[in-house]
């Protein structure tokens, strides 16, 4: 059997990686099997929920960590599971926004050599042109994602003027690398450009463009990039006879007030009695025909968000041992929100305190048991 090609899609938080993948799927033959391996911060698999609704044959999730560091040892098992259960024609690995692609490429090369089952086809990095200035200046990993790649996709360029786009091009040019680049069409890139890249990272083997060698361990970057972001896990459990719904007015106030230089991503599964408009003003029409409480997926990045009706489920909070949590999880209470918030370094304590003061994430009619823990 020929080895299965693997495409890595990386890029900083909120750059549009999932959108790029979802726009790729319709371009492929119906008989072509795509498997997705998704790595996310926190314990809420929002993007995997979105991806599983598309024509993807199978989804595996690696949560609560970075696939290039503390979860890299799980990569082989996850790929083997997809191979046995799905038998895909291609595997796409979508990394967390803070993953370092060179280390991941090296691990895929190693697994390919040992098993003969996989081959690295290409590494694609997605750059959010609109918010480029904000994270490029502060993120070591964002710079490394641009350097160790086969194709750069400039996303959200339609939302900025020509001068800002040219500035983004100049900053990438400062890396002095011969890397192909393409502008997306609102998150869409032709499949002929994304697939069959014949990755240079696969050819370079363990050296990865000379960036690492046996004398320079591939994980020495971890101290830099793991401390670039902090992650909060937020759970809201219903209280009393009030509607088992999140207060969407309070939630919208929170989304509008979150500064882009402090809060990078907000992802949540939300129970609500109505749909909330996205930042563009659109409302998911599928929710209008569903009376009562429905589940929604909230996906927020740099001041913009979508709110999509979903068949997602809300499991009970994990890793909570307080007496309040024990009371919350009695038979008369249900989880009505599970949220992951990815913040800039040094912001977690401040935002945990703000959320605990109330008025941002609460049950409709006020109240509810709010449980917040720091994940990273």
- pLDDT: is 260 or 211 the higher one? 260
pLDDT at 263 over 50: yes
Which residues, other chains included, contact 304 with Cβ-Cβ below 8 Å and sequence gap of 6+? 278, 279, 280
Mean pLDDT of 21-50: 77
Q: What was the pLDDT predicted at 146?
A: 59
Which residues, other chains included, contact 254 with Cβ-Cβ below 8 Å and sequence gap of 6+? 360, 361
pLDDT at 221 over 90: no
Tokens 């040094």, residue? 346
| pLDDT band at 179; cut points 50, 70, 90 | confident
Rounded to whole angstroms, how far apart are CA atoms 34 and 36?
A: 7
pLDDT at 320 over 70: no
Give which of 76, 62, 70 is closest to 100, Cα–Cα: 70
Q: What letter does residue 114 receive in the DSSP assignment?
A: H
pLDDT at 42 over 70: no
Rounded to whole angstroms, how far apart are CA atoms 277 and 275?
A: 6
Q: Which of 63-67, 106-110, 226-230, 340-344 has the lowest mean pLDDT?
A: 63-67
Rounded to whole angstroms, how far apart are CA atoms 327 and 369?
A: 9
What does 24-78 look like in DSSP terms, one character per residue?
HGGGS-TT--EEEEEEESTT--HHHHHHHTSS-SEEEEEESS-TTTTTGGGHHHH
Q: What was the pLDDT predicted at 352?
A: 96
Contact 59, 113 (CB under 8 A): no
Contact 276, 364 (CB under 8 A): no
| pLDDT band at 376; cut points 50, 70, 90 | confident
Contact 14, 302 (CB under 8 A): yes
Q: What was the pLDDT predicted at 52?
A: 55
Q: What was the pLDDT predicted at 49?
A: 57
Mean pLDDT of 156-176: 85
Task: Tokens for 289, please give them.
Answer: 């025909």
Which residues, other chains included, contact 200 with Cβ-Cβ below 8 Å and sequence gap of 6+? 150, 209
Q: Which helix (H) or strand (E) holds 149?
A: none
pLDDT at 9 over 90: yes
Give which of 229, 249, 212 is closest to 360, Cα–Cα: 249
Mean pLDDT of 110-128: 92
| pLDDT band at 57; cut points 50, 70, 90 | low
Contact 101, 10 (CB under 8 A): yes
Q: Look at the alpha carbons of 190, 170, 263, 60 in this order and tell me if their dihedral is positive or negative.
A: positive
pLDDT at 239 over 90: no
The three-state secondary structure class of 246 is strand
Q: What letter does residue 224 receive in the DSSP assignment?
A: H
Mean pLDDT of 36-65: 63
Give the tens place of pLDDT for each residue, 127-148.
899 887 655 544 555 555 556 7
Contacts by 192-195, CB closer than 8 A, 24 or more apart:
193/151, 194/7, 194/20, 194/24, 194/122, 194/124, 194/151, 195/5, 195/7, 195/90, 195/121, 195/122
Q: What letter does residue 285 receive in the DSSP assignment?
A: G
- pLDDT: is 342 or 141 the higher one? 342
Give the tens place of pLDDT for each residue, 289-318.
667 788 898 989 888 899 988 876 676 555
Rounded to whole angstroms, how far apart are CA atoms 265 and 274?
A: 23
Task: Tokens for 32, please give them.
Answer: 């072509």
Contact 346, 230 (CB under 8 A): yes
Q: Which of 48-57, 73-82, 342-351 has the lowest mean pLDDT?
A: 48-57
pLDDT at 341 over 70: yes
Rounded to whole angstroms, how far apart are CA atoms 319 and 300?
A: 25
Give the tens place of pLDDT for each residue, 183-218.
999 999 999 999 987 766 555 544 444 444 433 444
Share of the chain above pLDDT 90, in %: 33
What does 261-284 look like in DSSP terms, one character per residue?
TTEEEEEEEEEESSPPPPTTS---
């Amino acid at each position: 059997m020929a080895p299965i090609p693997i495409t890595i899609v990386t890029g900083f938080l909120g750059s549009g990686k999932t959108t790029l993948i979802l726009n790729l799927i319709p371009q492929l033959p119906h008989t072509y099997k795509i498997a997705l391996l998704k790595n996310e911060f926190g314990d809420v698999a929002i993007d995997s929920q979105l991806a599983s609704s598309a024509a993807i044959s199978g989804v595996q999730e690696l949560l609560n960590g970075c696939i290039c560091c503390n979860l890299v040892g799980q990569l082989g098992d996850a790929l083997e599971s997809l191979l046995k259960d799905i038998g895909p024609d291609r595997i796409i690995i979508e990394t967390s926004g803070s993953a370092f692609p060179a280390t991941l490429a090296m691990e895929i090369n190693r697994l390919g050599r040992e098993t003969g089952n996989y081959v690295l086809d290409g590494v694609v990095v997605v750059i959010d042109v609109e918010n480029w200035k904000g994270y490029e200046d502060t993120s070591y990993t964002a710079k490394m994602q641009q350097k160790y790649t086969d194709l750069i996709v400039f996303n959200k360029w339609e939302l900025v003027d020509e001068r800002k786009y040219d500035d983004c091009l100049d900053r990438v040019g400062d890396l002095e690398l011969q890397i192909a680049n393409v502008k997306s069409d609102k998150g869409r890139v032709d499949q002929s450009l994304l697939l069959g890249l014949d990755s240079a990272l696969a050819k370079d083997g363990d050296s990865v463009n000379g960036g690492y060698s046996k004398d320079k361990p591939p994980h020495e970057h971890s101290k830099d990039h793991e401390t670039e972001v902090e992650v909060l896990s937020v759970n809201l459990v219903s209280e009393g006879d009030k509607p088992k719904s999140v207060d969407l007015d309070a939630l919208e106030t929170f989304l509008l007030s979150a500064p882009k230089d402090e809060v990078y991503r907000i992802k949540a599964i939300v129970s609500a009695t109505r749909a909330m408009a996205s930042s563009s003003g659109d409302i998911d029409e599928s929710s209008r025909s569903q009376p009562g409480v429905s589940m929604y997926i909230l996906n927020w990045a740099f001041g913009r968000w979508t709110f999509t009706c979903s068949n997602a489920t809300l499991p009970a909070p994990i890793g909570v041992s307080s007496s309040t949590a024990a009371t919350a999880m009695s038979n008369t209470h249900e989880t009505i929100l599970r949220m992951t918030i990815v913040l800039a370094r040094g912001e977690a304590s401040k935002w945990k305190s703000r959320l605990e003061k109330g008025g941002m994430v609460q049950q409709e009619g006020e109240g509810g048991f709010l449980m917040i823990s720091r994940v990273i």
